[in-house]
Chains A and B, each alone.
Chain A
Amino acid sequence: MASDKKFEPTNPTVKWVEDRLPIFGLLYSSLGAGYNAPRNLNYWWNFGVLAGFMLVVQIVTGIVLVMHYVPDVNLAFDSVQHIRRDVNYGWLLQAVHANGASMFFIVVYIHILRGFYFGSYKAPREILWFLGIIIYLLMMATGFMGYVLPWGQMSFWGAKVITNLFGAFDFIPFIGDGIVEWLWGGFAVGQPTLNRFFSLHYLLPFVLVGVVILHIWALHIPGSTNPLGIDANGPYDKIPFHPYYTAKDAFGLGVFIIFFAAFVFYIPDFLGHPDNYIKANPLVTPEHIVPEWYYLPFYAILRAIPDKLLGVVAMFSSILILFAMPWLDGSRVRSMRFRPLSKFFFWLFVVNGIFLGYLGQRSPDDVLALGVTALVYAQFATTFYFAYFLVIMPLVSRMETTKPVPTSIAAAVLEANKKG
C-alpha cells in the first residue's frame, strides 16, 4: 500500500542484516508500524490474533508433552496419567494443552462468524477465506487425532466411529473396500492407528503454521475488512498496526488469558468426558459416544440423516459449503450493519448452530420438548443449516434493500464522535 511506511533501520547491525535478508522489514510491514489497518476495527477483529496465539500455545505445550508421552496402546493411557501426576508441572502443561484445543476452537468459531457478519469472504478476499476454511479443516483433523492419543474409552470409540465414516465410500472401485483398514493399519483401531495418529498430530500443526502464513499474506494484499465493510481509501481511513492494534490486541489477549486460565486452574476437566478416564476397551462401547464439543453440530448433522452414506456426505458438505459463500452471497454491501434482513437470519443461523450442538450430545431417541425426539429436531435444524446457505443467503442478499453506506471510514468515525 502506497501510504505504508518503509522500514528504515538506524541500528547498523539491523541495517547490515536487512541489506542481506530483509526479514525485519517483512515483520515491520506485516505486524509493525509499516502495516496500516482501518481505524475503526472493533474487538471482533481481535480473534485472529488470539487464534494465532493459541496455535503457538498448542505447539509449545505439545512439544514438551511428547517428551513424556508414550504412543503405545498399553502405555499411552498411563503415560498421560504419569504426566498429570508425576511430571513436574505436567498437570499444568496437560491442562493447558487439553483445554487449549477448546480455546483454539472458541476463538476460531468467533473469528469465522466475524467473517460471516462483516462479509469478510466477499471479493477481493475469497482466497483469504478459502485458506481460512483449510485451516479450520486441518484444525479439526489435528484435534480429532490429538483426542485419540490419551487412549481412553472416548478416544478409542471416537476414533472407531470417525474412521468408520470413510467406510461409507466403499462403493468407490479399487480403493473403497480397503479404505478403513488402510486408515487403521489393521482390522480394528489398534497400535498402528495410534502410532500414525501420533505422527500426524505432531506434523499437522506445522502445516497449519504454513497455511496461517499464507492466510496472513493473503490478508495483507487487500488489507483487513472493517465493521463498515467499505474499502479504506485515504490515509485518514487507516492507522498503523503498531502501536494502535498491537496495544488493542494485547488488551484483548489479557482478557482472553484470564478466561483460559479459569478453565485450566479451576475446572480443567470441565470440557472433557468422564469416559475418557477409563482405559480404552475394544469390547465395551460407552453408553453414549459423544465427540468433543467443537464437533457436536456436525455430529448432529451426521446423525440427522438415517442413511450412512448420505449422513457422511451431509456432514462433509456442511463445511465444504463455506467455499461457495463468496458466490452464494450476491450483496454488494459487505457489512450486515447495513443489511437488516441478512443480520436477522445470521443470528438465527448462530442460534441454530448452537441448537445443533446441543442435539449432538443427546441420544437421537431422547424425547425433548413437545414430545419430539432429538432426531427430528436435528432434521429440522439440519434443513435450516443448509437452507441458510442454499436458499436464504442467495435470495436475501440479492433482494434486500440495504441501508445507506457511509462514504468513507473517516467520515463515519467523525460522525460517530460528534454524536458522542
Chain B
Amino acid sequence: MTTHDDVVEERRNFLYIATGAAGVVAAGAAVWPLIDQMNPSKDVLALSSIEIDLNNIPEGQSAVFLWRGNPVFVRHRTPEEIARAEADDNAPDLIDPERDEDRVQRPEWLIMSGVCTHLGCVPLDQQGDFGGWFCPCHGSHYDISGRIRKGPAPLNLPIVEYTFLDDSTVKIG
C-alpha cells in the first residue's frame, strides 16, 4: 500500500533527479563555448580559393601551392606516368584501393593534397619505390597516382576540390 511517506519520498527523489539533470545541462551549456572556441574560427572557415595558371607547369613537372595553410601538389603527368598509374589500378599492394581515373578529372593533371595521411609531413616529389612521392618522416611510399603503396600511412593523398575554369586555369577550393 502506498503511504503518505512513500509519496513524499518519491516526490523528493524526482526533485533530486530533476535538479541534478538541470544542473548537468547548465554545466554542459556553460562548458560548450569554452570547448568550441578552439574550433576553426569564421575567418578560417571562410572558404578561400586559389587560381593556378597551368601553363607554368611543364609536362613531367610538379608544382606546390599553399592552400588553407597546407600544400597542394599539382603534377603534369607524362603519358608514361598515366599508363603506369592505370596499370597499377589492381595492384595487390594498394592499401587504400582506388582507380586512377577516379582520382583525376583530366589524366594529365593530378591535383591533390600534399599532406601525408600518416602524420602530416610533406612527401617529396619523384622519390620512393613507386615513382611518385615519398614521405621522409616515417617512410610512406605513394605512387604516381598519389596512392599509398608502402609504409605506415593509412590512406591515399586526398584529392582536393577543384574545377577547370578553362584549359589552362584551375581553381582550387
Contacts and interface: CB of A to CB of B under 8 A. Distances in A.
Interface residues of B, number: 27
A191 B118 CA distance: 23
A364 B138 contact: yes
A186 B115 CA distance: 15
Contacts of A186: 40, 44, 68-69
Interface string A282-314: 111101110000000000000101111101000
Interface in A162-197: 163-165, 167, 178, 181-190, 192, 196
B104 to A, nearest CB: 23
A165 B117 CA distance: 11
A279 to B, nearest CB: 15
Interface in B121-173: 121-122, 124, 135-139, 151-154
Contact of B122 (A187, A192, A285, A375): A285
A308 B70 contact: no
A121 interface: no
A161 interface: yes
A365 B68 CA distance: 32
Contacts, number: 89
A241 to B, nearest CB: 42
B39 A185 contact: yes
B138 A288 contact: no
B70 to A, nearest CB: 5
Given A282-B66, A288-B136, A308-B152, A160 B41 contact: no
Contacts of B118: 164, 308
Contact of B119 (A165, A181, A196, A284): A165
B119 A306 contact: no
B69 A161 contact: no
Interface in A92-133: none
Interface in B39-82: 39-41, 44, 64, 66, 68-71
A144 interface: no
A69 interface: no
Given A185-B39, A187-B40, A161 B137 contact: yes
Interface in A299-333: 303, 305-309, 311
Contact of A282 (B39, B44, B69, B154): B69
A391 to B, nearest CB: 26
A185 B136 contact: no
Contacts of A289: 121, 136-137
B88 to A, nearest CB: 21
A285 B136 contact: yes
B121 A192 contact: no
Q: Taking each of A181, A196, A307, which has the highest tally of chain B beta carbons within 10 Å of its own beta carbon?
A: A181
A364 B137 CA distance: 9
Given A186-B69, A285-B124, A311-B152, 8 more contacts: A160-B119, A161-B120, A161-B121, A185-B40, A285-B137, A308-B118, A308-B152, A363-B139
